[in-house]
Structure 1
Amino acid sequence: MNIIGVIPARYQSSRLPGKPLADILGKPMIWWVYHRAKKVTCLNNVIVATDDQRIVEVCNKFHIPVVMTSKEHRNGSERLSEIASKIEADIYVTIQGDEPLLEKTTIEKVVETILANDNIQCATLKTAYHNPVDVINGTTPKVVTDLNNDILLFTRSAVPYPKAAIDYIIYKPIGVYAFRRDILLKYGKLEMGPLEKAEEIELLRLVEHGYKIRIAEVDSETIAVDTYKDLERIRQYLMNHPEYQIN
C-alpha cells in the first residue's frame, strides 16, 4: 500500500501573503509542516505541491521534495488531483500547509479511516466546537453527518438549528483529507456546484455529485495560520512548549 502525504502550498494569500514561507523560530512554516508529517510512519512519502517558484526554491534549500503544479487550481484538492495524475499511489493525504502544529495522530486517524473499508473513497475528520463564538462565526466551517458517519453537508452556518432539542454537538471539519486515486482523478474533472460556490468548502464538490465521504472524530486543537496574529500565536506556543519543537 503506497500512501503519500501532499502539502498544497500557495504563495498568494489575501490576509498573509507568502504564508508558507513565514518565519517560525528561524525556519519557514512549510518546513515545520513537512517535518511534522514525516513523523507519520504510515506515509511512504511526503511532498509539497505548489504553484510558485519562490516556494520551490525554499523547499530545495531545505531538501523538501516539491512538485510544481498549475496556477489555475482553485483549491488544494484540485492541486492534489494533478499530483495524482503525475505520481501514482494508492492513497493521497492532504496535509494543510498552514497548520505547523498538526498532530501526528490526526494524520494517522484519517489514514486509518479510509483503510477501514475498501468502499470508502474519501475520508476526513471532525472535532467538536467548544467555543460558542466559533459556532456562530460565519467564517468557520461546520459539518453534518448521517448515522453511518458519512457527510451530509458542510456549511458555515450554525447547523443544526435547535428548534426542538439542544442536546446536539456542532462539529468543525479538520482540513486533513484522504483520497483513493480514482476519486481524486475524478475530482479534478467535476464541475463546481452551487453549494461549493456559495460556501467555498472544497469537499462539497464530491457531496454535490453524490459521492460518499466518511468522517471520524478526533480531539484536535491545531491552530491554522490565517493572519499575522495566528502566526504570532504559533511562535509563542512553540517557545513556551519546547516539546513541540522539531530538531
Structure 2
Amino acid sequence: MKILGVIPARYKSSRFPGKPLADIHGKPMIAYVYENAMKVSQFDKVLIATDDERIASECNRRGMSFVMTSTEHETGTDRMAEVAEKHEADFYVNIQGDEPLVSPDTIESALQPIISSNNFDVINLMAEISDASDLVNSTIPKVVVNESGEAIFFSRSPIPYPKSKRPKYYKQVCVYVFKRDALLRFASLARGAIEQSEDIEILRFLENRMTVKMVEVHEDSVAVDTAADLEVVKNILTNRKKLK
C-alpha cells in the first residue's frame, strides 16, 4: 500500500498573496507544514504541489520535494488530482499548506480508517467547536454526520439549527485522505450548485453520492487566511518555545 502526502501551495491567494512563503520566525510557512508531514511514518513520500516558480525556488533551496502543477486549477483538490495522474499511489493525503501548526499525530488520525475499513472515498477530520466565534465565522466550514460517522453536509453557516436543543457543533479540520479513483473522478465532475453556493469543494463528493468518512480529533489547528491569522500562529509558536 502506497501513501503519498501532498501539500498544495499556490501563490496567488486572493486574501493573502504569497501566503506559502509568509515568514514565521525566519522560516516560510510552507516549510513548517512540510517538516510536520515528513514526521508521518506512513508516508512513502511527501510532495509540495505548486504552480509558482517562487515557491519551487524555495523548495529547491530547502531540499523540499515538489511537483509543478497547472495554474488553471479552481481548487486544491483539482491540484491533488493532477498529482494523482502523475504519481501513482493507493492513497493521497492532502495537508493544507496554510496550516503550519497541524501535528503529525493529527495527520496520522486521518489514516486510521484505512486500516479498519475500505468503505469510503474520502476521509476528512473534524473537531468539536468550543469557541463561539468559530461557529459564526464563515471562513470555517461546519459539518454534520450520520450515525456511521459519514458526512451529511458541510456549510459555512452554523449547522444544525438549534430549534429545540443545542447540539454539538463540529468544524472541518483540513486534512483529507483520497482514494486515487475518487480524486480522478472529482476532477472529471463539474462544480454542482451546492458547491458553488457554499464554496466548499468537498461538497462535490457528496453531490455525486460519494462517501466522506469523518474522524474526530481533539487537537485544533489554525488556518492562515489573513495577516491577522499569521500573527496568531506566530504568538502560539512563541508561547510554545517559552514552555520548553
TM value normalised by structure 2: 0.96
CA distance in 1, matches of 2:186, 2:243: 35
Over residues 77-121 of structure 1, what are the superposed CA-to-partner deviations in whole Å (9 max), with x where a residue is unaligned?
A: 100000000000011000000111101111101111233212222
Secondary structure at 1:153's aligned position in 2? strand
The equivalent residue for 1:87 is: 87
Stretches of structure 2 lacking an aligned partner (at least 5 in a row):
none
The equivalent residue for 1:62 is: 62
Q: Is the 8 A contact 2:47 2:65 kept in 1?
A: yes
CA distance in 1, matches of 2:206, 2:84: 20
With over 3 angstroms needed to count, the CA separation of the structure-2 counterparts of 1:13 and 1:206, relative to structure 1, is: same
The equivalent residue for 2:185 is: 186
Q: How does 1:234-245 map to 2 (within 5 A)?
A: 234-242=233-241
The equivalent residue for 1:97 is: 97
Tell me which amino acid in the other structure corresponds to 1:85.
Answer: E
CA distance in 2, matches of 1:54, 1:226: 19
The equivalent residue for 1:204 is: 203
CA distance in 2, matches of 1:238, 1:136: 26
With over 3 angstroms needed to count, the CA separation of the structure-2 counterparts of 1:243 and 1:87, relative to structure 1, is: farther
Q: Is the 8 A contact 1:113 1:215 kept in 2?
A: no
Over residues 107-155 of structure 1, what are the superposed CA-to-partner deviations in whole Å (9 max), with x where a residue is unaligned?
A: 1011112332122221011001111222123332100111111111000
Give the ranges of 4+ consecutive aligned residues of structure 1 lying more than 3 Å apart after TM superposition: none
CA distance in 1, matches of 2:148, 2:242: 37
CA distance in 1, matches of 2:109, 2:172: 14
The equivalent residue for 2:124 is: 124
Q: Is the 8 A contact 1:94 1:176 kept in 2?
A: yes
CA distance in 2, matches of 1:12, 1:28: 16
With over 3 angstroms needed to count, the CA separation of the structure-2 counterparts of 1:198 and 1:38, relative to structure 1, is: same
Shift, 1:213, TM fit: 0.7
RMSD, matched Cα:
1.5
Over residues 173-227 of structure 1, what are the superposed CA-to-partner deviations in whole Å (9 max), with x where a residue is unaligned?
A: 1110001111111111011101110111111000000101110100122111111
Greater alpha carbon shift after TM alignment, 222-231 vs 91-100: 222-231
Secondary structure at 2:72's aligned position in 1? coil
With over 3 angstroms needed to count, the CA separation of the structure-2 counterparts of 1:233 and 1:133, relative to structure 1, is: closer
The equivalent residue for 1:14 is: 14
The equivalent residue for 1:171 is: 170
With over 3 angstroms needed to count, the CA separation of the structure-2 counterparts of 1:243 and 1:49, relative to structure 1, is: farther
Tell me which amino acid in the other structure corresponds to 1:75.
Answer: T
Shift, 1:170, TM fit: 0.7
Q: Is the 8 A contact 1:114 1:178 kept in 2?
A: no
TM value normalised by structure 1: 0.95
CA distance in 1, matches of 2:118, 2:133: 38
CA distance in 2, matches of 1:138, 1:64: 33
Identity %: 45
CA distance in 1, matches of 2:242, 2:215: 27
CA distance in 2, matches of 1:172, 1:27: 28
Q: Is the 8 A contact 1:99 1:225 kept in 2?
A: yes
Shift, 1:27, TM fit: 1.1
Shift, 1:243, TM fit: 8.2
Secondary structure at 2:48's aligned position in 1? strand
CA distance in 1, matches of 2:221, 2:41: 20
